[in-house]
Structure 1
């Protein structure tokens, strides 16, 4: 940065001649145009007629420019700025909606069973039953004519109210019955959840209320702003807007243990924790009882304590397999016992990012492109060695996989199995973690019932002695879960950096921050939002370095950096 501290360092102006007759033009934007540019950059809309009138009434040129500066300060403190940052991040991250798994609306991230009300005119009108349970339940009898079980409780989706569950949903027994290939099988309800005749659990947390005619549509439809599928995809962008609004360092986007979510989205994280065996979550009401989260920071459009607010929460408190520990190391080649999980890493361990991209290489590629501004493009006119088994070291694909696989290795421990039925049925596996996500050695051979995804994918692509799976054949035979090694070994580098052994997406996040790639990428996107154009990292390297230096020196906070851009000569000259 130049001695003056100007945010325009690296872009030099011609030196004025000093001749009073030289006719040099003052190219500063007129106050009216500067107001328009500021409004478009900070809130995405032009100024109102009233704002233009107030500008005109401010007085001379200096007074009008002071008016624009006050306008910038006021707008940065308004909810419109939060919404602008959210929209910017949503376009930037472009996280896809979780794909359907069968006929719409078969969708399963929530991992809760669907409940619907008994219709008017039935003996149990207004009570809640499993969607697919026999209709006779609403008449008070089971399919064999015995009275149905009934239970009243305070549900998680409607605190301080009481609802009635009937039939299997109301079952509180430790054991239940489900069907496997058409035959009844006894199951332990605490382990399988609301499977078969097992109930919804305390406060019905293992189930969700569906108020629509057909179960699933309420959460599935992308245009339902309160649907969980929409929430899941928006969480990363909401987290970015939250950091900007509350003046948090942007590195928390990928290094933090916290995120933001309404109650309905937090339920999905709790269900993932329950699926992994953390049954203590059944008795935790901190995620659904408003009095327990009334003090959490929220978005500017909702009040604290509102279940619909995008409020801050600690991810490990909802899913304990996303760890609070920042330096967790686990090497499946040498460590005895199961992995405790992967450290929480902001948007990189969000369900939207992990479930929206179904494979580790897709996650790695999108993380590099989105958060490190890497360009993964095919080469032209080059000859490569023959491809045999490892795209990271063989064939033409190695041009990208040499960079891609050291990123993808961090995203192995999350995969989807099965299909969903009205929001229940699909499972999201964290292989090798905890007590639930382990399988007999037959999975590695593809034997029944391990012939489908994700096992078939793991068997095809997690091959020993490859860049993605740097374990020996002997190590994989001794412990098949060794193929889930998910940290960058010291013999590999990513963006010129050696990893510190931290497993999972957090290990990747640490690397791109240490490389400076994350800071440069964030600065480029914020610059594009405010200035209307990206920074060319090749032709404007000095300018980019100066902007990044100022961004980092300011604590990596969005609001003060955005304001400094609006104060720059380049902004005020329309460049």
Structure 2
């Protein structure tokens, strides 16, 4: 259903034109963009903004346009639009038994109301958003199944026949643990606990995984031993899995990492992070929340295994108190959280609502947080949570700020970024936003991309652990000596070389002076739009990060128009041409906003429109 080919806009317009011209041959054809003679609030029945026919002058069909679909075809159209499957034989029979044509059309309206409350409608919203956003899974960082993101160490069960059969141990680096021994032959540590991945059960950890020591030992690049603090360093070397084993992830597959890596596994973390934005869209529609929460809200949805990724990101920033927080994995703590209709409340696998700042406090609850690295020397507290724009799937799938900005404009503002035709530009020297042919797009992309700087990836994942995702300039961890600007070892790899190449002072993406950059190298991470720039005609209020971007596209009206167009395409089978049907689009947007930006009232109004009933 979600992949069906939509009729081209010109075909729908042609049909609409034909139906008008045979009634009103003396009028010029102005298309569906002319707008209605009544404002949306004067039109409670959900009639269209354009292409409205006068009723017939008499006869048994008076008041019904000649090309209105039969009741059975209207039922079929409604079923396909709202749930992706045609009506059943029983539904056709019930419609036929309803009585005359008026009763059968009333059956369609009742069918729409009923379907909007069924789990199939949630599934339709999810599939619509999944195709719309088209967010890829987090890419491999080495050979599959290495993709990073988890920031937890892989543990596996000891095999049957070993002294510690059934106990959990580190997959690598503790070869004698299942024999109950340390590498030196002394007895290995053992610990029983309630694990985060299986609440209500007891798991036995053995060997290094069971360690509760405050410090551990690892080795630097030269092979020399280094003492680390386990609470902040994570489960490296001989540090343990921590309380409830939250620093580790349990692997039950044939090879560690595959069950989380493979997209065939609906509970695999790699798939979950890619689906989160689309699931949030469906959640908002299902629970009648305003659609602006998709990018302005501080909450999201996700099962336990997805929320673990956010907790690990907070722990990577040394917020060690998260080790003792069980609100994300103990069912009694989230028993009342709103969930998707396909699961029950309290189910750890349900797509349940959660506060993003509660899982990773570096994503702030504050809605107006401002931070200017040109004038402030203290560490940044974080960036405000911004719905899908601060989801780990969105940020990790698009690893560069300009790609994030471009995709966010395309997805959420329906911007079309096309190359120029037949234009001449000034010579390119150092700033693609103001020089060379690339400025055609970069003048639009860079004011968006500036909001997406403070998230990156360092290193390669190995069995769930190894890759880290710094938020530069935030907290106490993600800072480096000024030497990082030289790209010399150990700053000779990504993301440092990227930052050094593209975060140059006096450019559209980095609007600071050279003196400011020299005084504070972290000033290059400026991530709000200064007042001398604008995005879609809007001037920023100074809010940093993706939330600052979200505020701008909402204020411009682009977000509302974009959501309306995609919902219209799902229900009506075609997009709205913003150039040729401007009046029609604005009337639909006004109806959407009047309905609280909620999906169900707007979808209902579309199914009541004359265009829907006529198959246009």
Regarding TM over 0.5, the answer is: yes
Given that 1:495 and 1:512 are in contact with CA atoms closer than 8 Å, whether structure 2 keeps it comes out as yes
Relative distance call for 1:26 and 1:141 in structure 2 (3 A) is same
Q: CA deviation at 1:161?
A: 1.2
Per the alignment, residue 49 of structure 2 pairs with 10
Contact 2:48 2:610 in 1 (8 A): no
Q: Write the distance in 2 (CA, Å) between the matches of 1:8 and 1:355.
A: 43
- Alpha-carbon distance, 1:509 to partner: 0.1
Asked whether the equivalents of residues 458 and 495 of structure 2 are also in contact (C-alpha less than 8 Å), the reply is yes
Match of residue 204 from structure 1: 245
> For residue 245 of structure 1, what is the aligned residue in structure 2?
286
Query: Shift in Å at residue 11 of structure 1?
Result: 1.1
Structure 1 match to 2:485 = 444
Cα distance in 2 for residues equivalent to 1:14 and 1:289: 59
User: What are the equivalent positions in structure 2 for 1:365-376 lying under 5 Å apart?
Assistant: 365-376=406-417
Partner of 1:401: 442
Q: CA deviation at 1:314?
A: 0.4
Of 136, 150, 154, 1:114 maps to 154
Q: Find the counterpart in structure 2 of residue 431 from structure 1.
A: 472
CA distance in 1: counterparts of 2:508 and 2:414, whole angstroms: 22
- Report if aligned partners of 2:296, 2:551 keep a CA contact under 8 Å in 1: yes
1: CA distance, partners of 2:53 / 2:245? 70
TM-score (norm 1): 0.98
SS of match in other structure, 1:249 = coil
Aligned counterparts of 1:161 and 1:521: Cα–Cα separation in 2: 47
- Counterparts of 2:367 and 2:580 in 1: how far apart (Å)? 37
SS in 1 for 2:344: coil
Counterpart secondary structure, 2:77: helix
Q: Are residues 1:339 and 2:371 paired?
A: no
Corresponding residue for residue 325 of structure 1: 366
| 1:396 Cα offset (Å) | 0.2
The secondary structure found in structure 2 opposite 1:135 is coil
For the Cα contact (< 8 Å) 1:107–1:424, is it kept in 2? no
2:485 counterpart of 1:485:
no
- Give 1:551's aligned residue: 592
2:580 pairs with 539, 543, 556, which one?
Answer: 539
**Does structure 1 residue 298 correspond to structure 2 residue 355?**
no
Greater mean alpha carbon deviation, residues 131-140 or residues 283-292: 131-140
State the Cα distance separating 1:305 from its structure 2 match: 0.2
The 3-state SS of whatever aligns with 1:46 is coil
Distance 1:12 1:193 in 2: 63
1:34-93 alpha-carbon deviations (Å, 9 max, x no partner): 000000000011011111111111111011111111111110000000000000000000
> When the two structures are superposed, what TM-score results if normalisation uses the length of structure 2?
0.92
Given the alignment of the two structures, is residue 38 of structure 1 paired with residue 57 of structure 2, yes or no? no
User: Is 1:58 paired with 2:98?
Assistant: yes
Equivalent of 2:609 in 563, 568, 573: 568
Shift of 1:373: 0.1
Please state how far the C-alpha of 1:275 moved relative to its aligned partner: 0.4
Report the counterpart of residue 93 of structure 1 in structure 2. Answer: 133
Residues 82-231 of structure 1 correspond to what in structure 2 (within 5 A)?
A: 82-181=122-221, 182-231=223-272
CA deviation digits over 1:339-358, x for unaligned, max 9? Answer: 00000000000000000101
**Counterpart contact for 2:285–2:600, Cα < 8 Å:** yes
Contact 2:48 2:609 in 1 (8 A): no
Q: Alignment partner for residue 272 of structure 1, among 308, 313, 316?
A: 313
State the Cα RMSD in Å.
Answer: 1.5
TM-fit CA distance, 1:504:
0.0
**Does the CA-based 8 Å contact 2:55-2:65 persist in structure 1?**
no
CA apart distance, 1:25: 6.2
- Which residue of 2 is the match for residue 27 of structure 1? 67
Name the CA shift for 1:22/1:245 in 2 (closer, same or farther; >3 Å): closer
Cα offset, 1:134, TM superposition: 3.1
**Distance across 2 between alignment mates of 1:218 and 1:499:** 43
Residues 432, 164 of structure 1: CA spacing in aligned structure 2 closer, same or farther, 3 A cutoff?
Answer: same
1:251-270 equivalence runs, <5 A: 251-270=292-311
- Within 2, Cα distance between the matches of 1:20 and 1:446? 82
C-alpha distance in structure 2 between counterparts of 1:172 and 1:403, whole Å: 52
The equivalent of 2:397 in structure 1 is 356
Unaligned runs of 5+ in 2: 1-35
Residues 116 and 131, structure 1, Cα contact 8 Å, conserved in 2: yes
Does the alignment pair 1:310 with 2:351? yes
Out of 25-34 and 304-313, give the one that drifted further: 25-34
Question: 1:168 deviation in Å?
Answer: 1.0
CA contact (8 A) 1:530 1:566 kept: yes
In structure 2, distance between residues paired with 1:353 and 1:310: 17
Residue 494 of structure 1 is matched in structure 2 by 535
Q: 1:205-236: per-residue Cα shift (whole Å, max 9, x none)?
A: 01111101210001000111110000000000
**Contact 1:368–1:407, Cα closer than 8 Å, also in 2:** yes
Matched, 1:384 2:425: yes
Distance change (3 Å), C-alpha of 1:558 and 1:25: closer
In 2: Cα distance, 1:189 partner to 1:332 partner: 32
3-state DSSP class of the match of 1:129? Answer: strand
Cα deviation for residue 17 of structure 1 reads 7.6
Q: Kindly report which structure 2 residues correspond to 1:410-429, keeping only aligned pairs within 5 A, or say none.
A: 410-429=451-470
Of the candidates 489, 511, 516, which is equivalent to residue 475 of structure 1? Answer: 516
